[in-house]
Structure 1
Amino acid sequence: MTIDSGSFPVPAALVEHARRFRAEGSTPAVPRVAATVLLLRPAAVGFEVYMIRRVAAMAFGGMYAFPGGGVDPSDAQAHPGWAGPDPQEWGGRLGVASEAARSVVCAAAREVFEEAGVLLAGPDPATVVGDVSGDDWEAARVDLEKRRTHFAEFLTGRGLTLRSDLLLPWSRWITPEFEARRFDTYFFVALLPEGQRTRDVSGEADHTLWISPADALRRSAAGELTMLPPTLLTLAQVAAAGDLADVARLAADRDAATPITPRLADLDGDTPYFTLD
């Protein structure tokens, strides 16, 4: 079973979930719309991606993934200053109505700030803020995380424009039907803005690291990093890029609207596995 063949190993706990779901004849939960961001940065050789390990108590706990989370109602309640493709164009790329696309893009930018301390915004459509690790920025990040304010309000209050052009749509994944908590997740890639740095600030992660996609795949195959199919396949896809410019070129032609749902094969066998067929 390999990534190239579209087959993936399955953690034992997920096999039990799937068997119980089938035995009980359960009804699939409605997926919650979500967004996740692959933050990339140049390295001495090639480039690296920022990864977090979800705390055990969370959905998909113990798994390595990328910063992200569900779309919040506040992501649609107010509109920040906006740079890059307009919501209608985003809707075409993501396969949803323009207002839904606006919410997804806002959620992606908000989540990467909440979980990694990286802000994809600037004082005008051509610039990005620098270091946002100071105490005042951290207080604002915590207010967002605690839902004491919303993202558009935060940006407007600081005179900032959301740089939607820094988010490159990559793919769309829907959690398998047997999972109790399901997500309809839009994947984006983004280059770490110059002058900013990631920070281990979110209480949703118990470990973070910068790592080359190829090394992440190698360590996953060795059993050191546990990942689910969307993470594994996305890493393999970006690992195939020669450099960051190549990642951007690949993103321009990606289908980020058609959802992919992993399915369990050979559920009654000794080694069930995920397939994308």
Structure 2
Amino acid sequence: MSELTGTAATVVLLRDSDAGPEVLLLERPTAGSFGGAWVFPGGRVDPADRAEGEAEESAAVRAGVRETAEETGLALRAGDLVPLSCWIPPENIPRRYQTWFFAAKAPAGDIRLNPGELLNHRWLLPAEALDRHRNGLMQLVPPTWVTLHSLTADASADAALARIAGAETETFRTRSLAGYEPVTVFAWEGDEEYDGAVGGVGGSAGGSSIAASDASLPARHRLVMDKTFWRYERTR
């Protein structure tokens, strides 16, 4: 088992629009981490973000506030951040950062991108961002995609934050499933193949909906990725 490289923080900034809550996405340069992808503001936890004896999540909160200011010019306070999820990458990648995701209502102010680190920004409805990804107009990575998918039904930024605050902070410890090639399948706890008890059996990957909870269905908690056509399946 490969060790984690470190800890990082990501902040999902939300603002209201006439069509529903929008999120802020930033375009990364083609060189470097997440090259060419559109991501939420965030970055690594630095030594200055840490306090002795403190929980790792607290350091991630400080890093989220700092990185948001550095990357966007928007000022947040630690109390503005609502814990959303924690993502741990598959073991077969060389640099594995445990990344805490937080949600926050965007403060007033213009976006001022950090030159050299970011190319562009967009405020988009979550469903719009997913459509852009599916149509090849926006590159997303799995944690961003799944997070956007989880926000598509919220009616407002406040409603999204209230829902997130009332839910348990979920850890997505990612495992890659074999036997579905050329489709890529990532699984998380709750999927019947997560512990390797059941081999991959292939399957369709054309949509993007979450499967309804049904005790008669195989236990699923996975993201099926066929080129730009991705589908999040969760039956429990």
Q: Which bin holds the TM-score, normalised by the shorter protein?
A: 0.7 to 0.9
Tell me the residue number matched to 2:130. 217
Aligned mates of 1:58, 1:239 — CA distance in 2: 29
Instruction: Deviation per CA, 1:196-247: give whole Å up to 9, x if none.
Output: 1222224222222111111001111112211121111100111221111211
* Match of residue 65 from structure 2: 109
Counterparts of 2:57 and 2:140, CA distance in 1: 27
8 Å CA contact retained: 1:117, 1:197: yes
| 1:71 corresponds to 2:27 | no
SS of the residue 1:242 aligns to: coil
- Residues 1:192 and 2:106 are matched in the alignment: yes
Task: Could you tell me which runs of 5 or more consecutive residues in structure 2 were left unpaired when the two chains were aligned.
Answer: 192-236
What displacement does 1:172 show? 0.6
CA RMSD of aligned residues (A): 2.0
Letter in 2 for 1:242: A
Deviations 1:76-123 (A, max 9, x none): 259xxxxxxxxxxxxxxxxxx744333111111001001111111xxx
Deviation at 1:54, TM superposition (A): 1.8
Counterpart of 2:104 in 1: which secondary structure? strand
Matched with 1:36 is 10
Cα-to-partner distance string for 1:243-266 (whole Å, 9 max, x where unaligned): 11211211112322x421232223
- Aligned letter for 1:177? E
Once the 2 structures are TM-superposed, how far is the Cα of residue 58 of structure 1 from its aligned partner? 1.2
8 Å contact kept, 1:29–1:180: no
- Tell me what 2:27 maps to: 53
Which protein has the bigger strand share?
Answer: 2
Q: Structure 1's 221 and 268: CA in aligned 2 closer, same or farther, altered over 3 A?
A: closer
Determine whether 1:233 maps to 2:146: yes
Q: CA, structure 1 residues 223+29, in 2 after alignment: closer, same or farther (shift >3 Å)?
A: farther
Give the whole-Å Cα distance in 2 for the aligned partners of 1:224 and 1:267: 29
State the partner residue of 1:152.
none
Amino acid at match of 1:69: G
Normalised to the residue count of structure 2, the TM-score between the two structures is 0.73
Residue 119 of structure 2 aligns to a residue whose secondary structure is strand
CA distance in 2, matches of 1:242, 1:262: 29
How far apart, CA to CA, are the structure 1 residues paired with 2:107 and 2:187? 35
Is residue 259 from structure 1 mapped to residue 171 from structure 2 by the alignment? Answer: yes
TM-score in terms of structure 1 length: 0.63
Gaps of 5+ in 1: 1-26, 79-96, 121-162
Cα deviation, residue 269, structure 1: 2.3
2:75 match = 119
Kindly indicate whether the alpha-carbon contact (under 8 Å) linking 2:4 and 2:98 is maintained by their aligned counterparts in 1: no
Q: For the residues of structure 1 that align with 2:171 and 2:9, how far apart are their CA atoms?
A: 13
Question: Which has the higher relative contact order, 1 or 2, with Cα contacts under 8 A spaced 6 or more apart?
Answer: 1
Asked if the contact 2:21–2:155 (Cα under 8 Å) also holds between the matched residues in 1, the reply is no
Give distance in 2, aligned partners of 1:230 and 1:254. 18
Q: CA 1:58–1:244 in structure 2 vs 1: closer, same or farther (change >3 Å)?
A: same
| Equivalent residue number for residue 89 of structure 2 | 175
Deviation at 1:267, TM superposition (A): 5.6
| Structure 1 residues 11-39: Cα deviation after superposition (integer angstroms, max 9, x where no partner) | xxxxxxxxxxxxxxxx6242311100011
Cα distance in structure 2, aligned partners of 1:271 and 1:99 = 38
Kept in 2: contact 1:31–1:175 (CA 8 A): no
Q: Which has the higher helix share?
A: 1
Q: Which has the larger radius of gyration?
A: 1
Aligned position for 2:228: none
> 2 CA distance for matches of 1:214 and 1:170?
19
